[in-house]
Amino acid sequence: MTQTSKTVAAPSDEIDLSKLIGILFDAKWLLVAVTFASALVGVAIALLSTPIYKADALIQIEEKSSGGISAMVGDMGELFSQESSATTEIEIIKSRMILGDTVDKFNLTTVVSADYMPLIGKGLARLSGQAAYIQISRYEQPKQGYIAANAVNKIIVTDAQQQHYKLVDQHGQTLLSGRVGELAKGQGYQLFISALTAQTGNEFSIHKQSKLEAIQWLKQHLSVSERGKQTGILALSFTGENRLLITAILNDIAENYFLQNVERNSAEAEKSLTFLQGHLPDIQSQLTGAEDSLNNYRQENESVDLGLEAESALKVMVELEAQLNELTFKESEISQRFTKDHPAYRALLDKRQTLLGEKERLNKEIQKLPKTQREVLSLTRDVEVNQQIYIQLLNKVQELNIIKAGTVGNVRILDNAESYAKPVKPKKALIVILATLLGSMLSVAYVLIRAALHKGVETPEEIEQLGLSVYASVPKSQMQSKIAEALNNKRTKRRSSELQLLAETNAADLSIEALRGLRTSLHFAMLEAKNNVVMISGPAPSIGKSFVSSNFAAVTAKTGQKILLIDADMRKGYLQQCFGETWENGLSDYLSGKISIEQTIKHTQVENLDLITRGRVPPNPSELLMHSRFKSLVEWANQHYDLVIIDTPPILAVTDPNIVGAIAGTTLMVTRFGQNTVKEIEFARSRFAQNGIEIKGVILNATEKKASSYGHGYGYYNYNYVTEGK
């Protein structure tokens, strides 16, 4: 006989906001605990984290003026001038050329740190005022290969008062011993400690790193940026634990950059000066030779003078030669900056070709003059051109000497490095706030995910949507929890004469009231049953089947009906403990033919209630239940008792309930609030249906009042009746 299933309502895609809020409200203490713990962790992190300080400086980069031969370029010099951008200067500051000097000055290739307890040791030492400090001015070790060079040794303070220490290797062997302020040597090692603040027994780890690694460390903590757009103002900042050290390091970086800029500008003037001084002797020699040639020719030709036409040609010729010489100087400079394909270089070559063409045209006109005039003109031109070049070079040499002596560079340090009194990291308030928020978000996510993944039934409506009737919702009893704890206690198990039944201990408990309602509902449900045998089972273990069976039997016995309670869970049954009985001479003993029916019956301390315990645990419980003796036992009990209640194992674990259900007239299934899922209940019903067993009704056990189930469950009312005195 199968039960007709009701139409199951399709799950809604809408989010029930009130239910989500209810789920969070039900888990309020978990949320509060996790959030509070996260806040404490945030406070601990904020207090124990090492303070990081910041030092900053300000540098101005002025417009770079052209010096040396560039000053001779004239208007075309504007095409060739190049001004360093802020990006270029930033990269120069971060270059190994600048930072390498700082590494050498502060001995940053030596890395030393105090040894503390992991995670919290350093913070605790700082808060307690016992932080250890050491300053190493010199540390050298023998060059024995890469491994030895990077080995981590230990500095152990042997006498803090006398400032004595020793250096040991990784194996604990002493390499040298020394005192603060004195150079210590031993086994190829040299160590000079300039300052030490520590307790006797404190240890420090020390090792060497490469210069490149030290430079990378500087780059990681150094920040350089332009303040504003195209202002030429660079802001430098450096972060670290030691305020004095980071200030000194940043000042040194700024000073190194300033000095290299001055040296760079001075080098440009020196290079131009060297170039000019190298050409002066040649120009002077050419001038002397030209003058001698002119004088000799005049003496030989009795002081020939130039005519008006020749004078004009001479003037033009001298100007052309001067311009060609200037282009020669310009070409020597831009050839160092550009290739011949560059527009500026090509413009210079085009101008040279124009001047040479003009010179060629002028030479042809000069050829029309008399021979004597031509010779005097040529010799006079050479003298005047060389005189102009020579005088110009002399003037430029004097200018470059002055420039070289007064070179200051185009970089100015506006603000020297200063460190802030308050640390920039960690931001304690922000850490605590973020930790608190993170803890609350994680706890909320955990609660919601847990509710989403484990959707145990919490309302009768969820079960009724499967087409099953809910006969009773049994509230969770705090007193029953104590009774269950006592039953699980080994000492209590040995006390076989003690009754552990909620229906007898507290008959007014809400759980017992719900079972009384079940008694009424079951009375009408069994009117058409084939017998008065009720089987109680469930989908899974630990859902309260034995609690329902034993207390329901006791409640029903109070009405005067004669009740027989059978523990058919021959594997893990424990009904005998509830009634203070022993398991001997139980169901398994009768089914195996060892005892008779009368010998299995135990009269309990509850009036009208008899009990058959599980007996000795057999190796084959299912086979024993299939024996004809079990059917005979049930038929005998049906004739001699008003109601027979059989407690069975869970259906999804073993097949025993199917065997018992085929004989019983009524089958009830117990589910536990928040534990059994809808799919689990549906699967259990299908398992019964496959064997032709109809689930008459469901008992929702251990229900709790939850905000997430508000408006969906049944209310329970506790009425107190006070007997008036007579």
CA distance 143 to 152: 14
pLDDT band at 194 (very low <50, low <70, confident <90, very high): very high
Distances (CA, A) of 394 to 66, 100, 126, 270, 329: 19, 40, 68, 15, 14
Q: Is a pLDDT exceeding 60 seen at residue 69? A: no
> What's the pLDDT band for 3 if we cut at 50, 70, 90?
very low
As a whole number, mean pLDDT of residues 676-693 equals 93
Q: What does the pLDDT read at residue 268?
A: 62
pTM: 0.60
Tens-place pLDDT, residues 615-660: 999 999 999 999 999 999 999 999 999 999 999 999 999 999 999 9
Q: What's the confidence (pLDDT) of residue 238?
A: 97
The pLDDT of residue 482 is 81
One-letter amino acid of 448:
L
pLDDT in tens, 552-603: 999 999 999 999 999 999 998 889 888 888 888 999 999 999 999 999 999 9
- Average pLDDT of the chain to the nearest whole number: 82
Average pLDDT over residues 187-195: 92
Return the HEC string of 39-60.
HHHHHHHHHHCCCEEEEEEEEE
Counting residues of the chain whose pLDDT is more than 90, the rounded percentage is: 50
pLDDT of 310 higher than 70: no
pLDDT tens digits for range 491-517: 444 445 667 888 888 888 899 999 999
Q: Tell me the pLDDT tens digit for each residue of 279-304.
A: 678 777 776 776 677 667 666 665 44
205 near 152, Cβ under 8 Å?
yes
Q: Which whole number is the average pLDDT over 2-27?
A: 63
* Terminal-residue alpha carbon distance, the chain: 56
pLDDT-above-70 percentage for the chain: 79
Residue pair 171/114 in contact (Cβ under 8 Å)? The answer is no
pLDDT in tens, 212-239: 999 999 999 999 999 988 888 999 999 9
Q: Is the per-residue pLDDT at 81 higher than 90?
A: no
Q: Are 550 and 701 in contact (CB under 8 A)?
A: no
User: pLDDT for 105-131, tens place per residue?
Assistant: 999 999 999 999 888 998 998 888 888
Query: In this predicted model, what pLDDT tens digit does every residue of 387-421 receive, in sequence order?
Result: 777 777 777 777 766 666 655 668 889 999 999 99
CB atoms within 10 A of CB 311: 12
Residue 148 Cα distances to 139, 152, 191, 213, angstroms:
14, 9, 16, 17
User: Taking 60 as the threshold, does the pLDDT of residue 72 lie above it?
Assistant: no
Distance CA 411, CA 400 (A): 20
Which H helix or E strand runs over 411? strand 411-419
